[in-house]
Amino acid sequence: MGIPLGDEDVRELGSPIVNLTLIATNFIVFVVGLTAPWILVSGARSYNDVIVALGAIPAYLVLGDRLYTVITSMFLHGSWAHIIGNMIYLYIFGDNVEAILGRARYLALYMLSGIGAVVFHIASIALMPASALANAALTSANPWMVPAVGASGAISGVLGAYALLIPFSRVRMLTFWGWFPIVLSVPASIFIGFWFVYQLFMGLATSISGVSAGIAFWAHVGGFLTGIALAPILVDKRRLGLALRILLVKSGYY
């Protein structure tokens, strides 16, 4: 695994207006939540109040209550590291997917992937072994009552669509050889594939043990699979053909 630095973009097909708007919206909501939380939630005195009010709490959702939080939770983040990490991934991978799907379809993929992520997150708690759930309730907050926040699930859907549609596009990543940083260029299928395997492994580990890492790994898995399922339905074949030609030219194969 490594930190993505960039990829071979296809912005010749248009500016990624939706992607940039999503990034700006996430940052605006986060900053407003930190500095003036009462703007987001009436009476809120802290950002934690905002997370409790607008985060996706599984116990409420399974009862059909506070369903709007499935959407609002996608625009909340737990820390600067959380939002910066998410937005780096969205900035690098989202523009190409928007270019291939078109703006409206890209927004649909993003939002539906976020919804799929919440569904998987709730299912992972419901299917958690009773012994693990009891352990989770004793060693940390009960997962049914922990607000899930972040754009990670929606972004996972973007990664899934990216890996399916343009798997050979090369991704520049920062990794380390011991203490020495090195930059590698690898196919998107390899970078995203390793990312997905890690999410799946960690999801299984946390479900079996009941020890939370503070990350909703199953939401990432669910968002990713939702993106893969939606990409063939939402793809604009003409735009995909143009994108493939652009990437082949940039790679020197055309």
Q: What is the CATH number of the domain that holds 89?
A: 1.20.1540.10
Q: In whole angstroms, give the CA distance from residue 163 to residue 168.
A: 8
11: pLDDT strictly greater than 90: no
pLDDT tens column, 139-150: 556 788 899 999
CA separation, residue 200 to residues 11, 58, 126 (Å): 31, 20, 17
- Per-residue pLDDT at 179: 84
- Which tokens go with 217? 């790994």
Banded pLDDT at 253 (limits 50, 70, 90): low
- Cβ-count burial 96-131 (b if 16+ within 10 Å, e if not): bbbbbbbbebbbebbbbbbbbbbbbbbebbeebeee
- Domain with 31 in it: 3-250
Q: Mean pLDDT across the stretch 237-252? A: 85
pLDDT at 23: 98
Which pLDDT band holds residue 132 (cuts at 50, 70, 90)? low
pLDDT of residue 175: 85
pLDDT grade, residue 137 (50/70/90)? low
Is residue 218 within 8 A of residue 127, CB to CB? The reply is no
Residue 211 clears pLDDT 70, i.e. is over it: no
pLDDT score, position 208: 75
d(CA 153, CA 141): 21
Q: What is the pLDDT of residue 14?
A: 83
Give the percent of the chain with pLDDT over 90: 68
* Residue 32: band (very low, low, confident or very high) from pLDDT cuts 50, 70, 90: very high
Count of the separate structural domains present in the chain: 1
What is the arrangement of strands in the sheet containing 170-177, beginning at the earlier edge strand?
3-7, 170-177, 180-187
